[in-house]
Amino acid sequence: MDKKPEYTLLVVDDDPLNVKLLEAFLSKDYVVRPAYGGAEALDIISSEKIDLVMLDIMMPDMNGYEVCRRIKASESTHFIPVIMITALSSKDDRIEGIEAGADEFLVKPIDRVEVLTRVRTLLKNKQLYDELTSERDRAQNYLDIAGCIIVAFDADGSVKLANKKCCQLLGYEESELIGKNWVESFVPPEDRDGVSSVFRNVMAGNLAGVKVFENGIVTKSGEKKIIHWNNSYLRDLNGELSGILSSGSDVTEERFASMKIKASEEKFRVLFENAADAIIIFDFDCNVIDANSVACEMLGYNLDELLSISRDDLVAPEFHGVCYERVADIMETKFSRFELACLKKDGGSIPVEMGVRVIKYNNISALLCNVRDISERKYAEKVLKESEQKFRLLAENANDVIWTLSPEGKFTYTSPSVFKLRGYTSEEVANQTFDEIFPPEHQATIANAVSRFYDNLKAGEVNYSESFEIEQYHKDGRLIWTEAIANPVYDDDGNFQFFLGVTRDISERKKAEEKISSYTAELSRKNEELKILDRMKDEFLSNLTHELKTPLISIKGYSELVHDEVMGPLNTKQKNAMKTVLTKYDHLSFLLDSLIYMSIVKSGKVHYRMDPIRIEDSLKKVVEYFSFRSQDKELILLLDFEENLPLIKGDVEYMPYLFRSIIDNAIKFSPDGSKVLIRAFEDDGDVHIVVKDFGIGIPKHELSNIFKRFYQIDGSMSRKYGGSGLGLYVSKTIAEIHGGKIWIESDESAGTTVHVHFPSYLKCKNQDANE
């Protein structure tokens, strides 16, 4: 029976005849797997166990060098021997094969004996490698199942081996540890000098002093661990020192526990020495065994003197009996608090509050006594008692009624002045119910005030007072108006105790308030009468201007007929006279229009019809209106309207009113023969109008008043140029109603520029949609 081959060989060649030849050579002793290209060979190697690869170099899809490089680059296949078979025999070819990782070369044509010899040699080497790897894995398993940390270092302190326990503790994979310098990578800075010294001593052969050592290490997560190490030598085959083998155990918890105990003891000592109160420790025989500096200072002894005396030397004789009783209680309850007097070294006494507790001290049972000097508290209690006496004296002689009210709603104290207020004595009030003191509607006021107090108390508002006005019954049956102010009173622990309040008679003030209320009502009525008169005035003004406007229309019509010589020819003097009539008509008409507009604005009856309009049309209409006046003064009206201006949202009837006054002023205050510039242009998507003249200008200090109703700079100017002071006020009103802005730039004798700015119709439409 033939023995089943033990090894599998992969033959890779794109020529099937070469593959068959090698199969013939090798199939008797080995399992032969054929592959006809580099990619196919790599797929077989990745999915099957291959013990040796015979690899042709010249292949179409991937040459043999690349296939070899990929085999040797993989962690799982780098140990597989590779024999390169090639017809190329130059030195450069062999160098490239060596660089790719080839183990042997065979040059075509190949000899069967040479092939078998090379294959056996490489497989024997591989068998030795596999056995060594297996032995190493067994040793690694022994290290990994060990219950302690095991690390091997070379002479430079770099990690050569780390068992599983070490990797788990540090949080690294073994591959991340191997080759790393232990001190630099895993030892915290404060321990590095000590660990480096240990390494130097061991490598110098001085193991005795550093065989056992403790230091910290830092894990991958940044956590610090404390390790107890046991160090030994690592020697090479010649017995020379080659490194260090260290086994260790994690003692972090034990050391931290010791540190906590030590810290706790240190904390106790710090608290003991820095306590605000005196602390004295007695044994169960009542001898002093320890005391802090506060106790020494309070009693006037030094520590050695205190340690030589007993409790009876420190407690005033009249309190000895109390001490014996309390100590007996403490043995059962383990704690007690009481007051007594302590004796000082100089013979004086101090009132103290003593809290006593049973403790363990230096492994014996002892009494820990917290001794607080209460001299100031006793003095405060004395002062408080005297203060209470003064308060009672004040309360009993005050004109206002001072009272206290319990949480249950009973008057626990009422000052004697209650008799003057209500005709009842303090004793009688103490027995009265709320129904006997307050009318029902005012009882609800008190109940609401108390409810608000408790709501604020729950919310943490303790500094709270309540003030309210209520009526109270007098003994003779009448009702008395009073004002009460109540404040809560708390004990030392912040617990509410009672209300402290003051009540005073406000009957006279109430009478005065009633008179003031009557006067206020009368004033309100008079004010309404004034408003009615104001409305009547507005209506009269509206009717008056309307009645004046009607005949003016006829006057203008007939005047224009005469001026235009429709009714017959005129001489120059007559022509000029009719032109003056028409000019004065324009002034009067504009004044009446302004008065009518103001009247309907103030009455709230004005209705605007906001449509998309062209600002150029309104400006041209006003310019045409003033054509006569500009011609009389030989003024040049320069119109500069940018093309394709955005539409604005406005009322086509009222928009010309805005510009009439502006252009009228520009013409009025410009010198004869000068220019008036009227521009309209797009400004950031909106419409900007500028009217500029070169006239007398406006003083800087007058600009803030120029838009006020009926305002004129001075009387002489009004007489010289005419005007009512309404024009710019009307212009500003109309501009703001249309969502616009108006402002003036001017200086005396330097001309005036009026700016009007309107948002575009599209912007207004989008804004209305968003709202």
* Final residue belonging to a domain, choices 373, 389, 413: 373
If you ran DSSP here, which 8-state letter would residue 528 be given? Answer: H
List phi, psi (to 5°) of 232: -150, 170
148-166 in b/e form (b: 16+ CB < 10 A) is bbbbbbbeebbbbbbbbbb
| Residue of 41, 67, 50, 43 whose CA lies nearest to 9 | 50
Assess contact for 624 and 661: CB atoms under 8 A: no
**What does the alpha-carbon distance between residue 385 and residue 389 come to, in Å, rounded to a whole number?**
6
* Final residue belonging to a domain, choices 110, 139, 168: 139
Please give the average per-residue pLDDT across 521-550, as a whole number: 75
Query: Which stretch of 40-49, 233-242, 533-542 has the lowest confidence by average pLDDT?
Result: 533-542
Residues 125 and 112 in one domain: yes
Long-range pairs, 631-636, Cβ under 8 A, ≥24: 632/579, 632/583, 633/667, 633/670, 633/672, 633/673, 634/672, 634/673, 635/667, 635/670, 635/672, 635/673, 635/674, 635/675, 635/676, 636/674, 636/675, 636/676
The token pair that represents 689 in the structure block: 């109008």
Check which CATH number belongs to the domain holding 24 and give it: 3.40.50.2300
Residues 681 and 760 in one domain: yes
Tell me if 265 is assigned to some domain. Answer: no
Q: What is the largest CA-CA distance in the chain?
A: 155
Check which CATH number belongs to the domain holding 166 and give it: 3.30.450.20
pLDDT of residue 549: 65
Residue with tokens 């990929």: 70
Tell me if 267 is assigned to some domain. Answer: no
Residues 191 and 123 in one domain: no
pLDDT of residue 488: 87
Tell me if 643 is assigned to some domain. Answer: yes
Tell me if 91 is assigned to some domain. Answer: yes
Confidence label for 716 from pLDDT (cuts 50, 70 and 90): very low
Residues 529 and 544 in one domain: yes
pLDDT of residue 719: 44
**What does the alpha-carbon distance between residue 349 and residue 343 come to, in Å, rounded to a whole number?**
5
pLDDT of residue 589: 66
Residues 423 and 355 in one domain: no
pLDDT of residue 335: 86
The token pair that represents 122 in the structure block: 């490489």
List phi, psi (to 5°) of 66: -65, -40
- At 24-72, the pLDDT tens digits run 889 888 999 999 999 999 999 999 999 999 998 888 889 989 999 999 8
Please give the average per-residue pLDDT across 281-289, as a whole number: 89
**What does the alpha-carbon distance between residue 735 and residue 755 come to, in Å, rounded to a whole number?**
11
The token pair that represents 94 in the structure block: 């062999």
Residue with tokens 């199939």: 27
Residues 127 and 164 in one domain: no
pLDDT higher than 80, residue 513: yes
The token pair that represents 473 in the structure block: 């019954």
Residues 471 and 519 in one domain: no
pLDDT higher than 70, residue 628: yes
Q: 87 vs 440, which has greater pLDDT?
A: 440
Assess contact for 639 and 678: CB atoms under 8 A: yes
List phi, psi (to 5°) of 506: -120, 25
Residues 162 and 233 in one domain: yes
Tell me if 1 is assigned to some domain. Answer: no
Residues 17 and 114 in one domain: yes
Considering its fold, how many domains does the chain have in total?
Answer: 6
pLDDT of residue 393: 64
If you ran DSSP here, which 8-state letter would residue 187 be given? Answer: S
Residues 389 and 519 in one domain: no
The token pair that represents 727 in the structure block: 């024009």
The token pair that represents 172 in the structure block: 């690294």
Tell me if 318 is assigned to some domain. Answer: yes
- At 396-412, the pLDDT tens digits run 666 788 888 888 888 88
Residues 112 and 81 in one domain: yes
Instruction: Work out the mean pLDDT of the chain and round it to a whole number.
Output: 84
CA 514 to chain centre: 54
**What does the alpha-carbon distance between residue 556 and residue 588 come to, in Å, rounded to a whole number?**
11
Q: What percent of the chain has pLDDT over 70?
A: 88
List phi, psi (to 5°) of 306: -65, -40
List phi, psi (to 5°) of 643: -70, 150
pLDDT higher than 50, residue 480: yes
pLDDT of residue 681: 95
Please give the average per-residue pLDDT across 540-556, as a whole number: 68
Tell me if 653 is assigned to some domain. Answer: yes
**537 Ramachandran zone, left/alpha/beta (phi>0; psi -120 to 50):** alpha
Please give the average per-residue pLDDT across 632-660, as a whole number: 89
Check which CATH number belongs to the domain holding 658 and give it: 3.30.565.10
The token pair that represents 719 in the structure block: 């007489």
Confidence label for 715 from pLDDT (cuts 50, 70 and 90): very low
Confidence label for 767 from pLDDT (cuts 50, 70 and 90): confident
Confidence label for 183 from pLDDT (cuts 50, 70 and 90): very high
* Domain span holding position 601: 506-606
Tell me if 269 is assigned to some domain. Answer: no
pTM, two decimals, is 0.34
Check which CATH number belongs to the domain holding 520 and give it: 1.10.287
**What does the alpha-carbon distance between residue 297 and residue 581 come to, in Å, rounded to a whole number?**
113
Residues 348 and 363 in one domain: yes
Confidence label for 599 from pLDDT (cuts 50, 70 and 90): low
Q: What percent of the chain has pLDDT over 90?
A: 25
**What does the alpha-carbon distance between residue 114 and residue 21 come to, in Å, rounded to a whole number?**
14
Q: 322 vs 201, which has greater pLDDT?
A: 201
**What does the alpha-carbon distance between residue 311 and residue 330 come to, in Å, rounded to a whole number?**
15
* Final residue belonging to a domain, choices 230, 257, 284: 257
pLDDT higher than 70, residue 364: yes
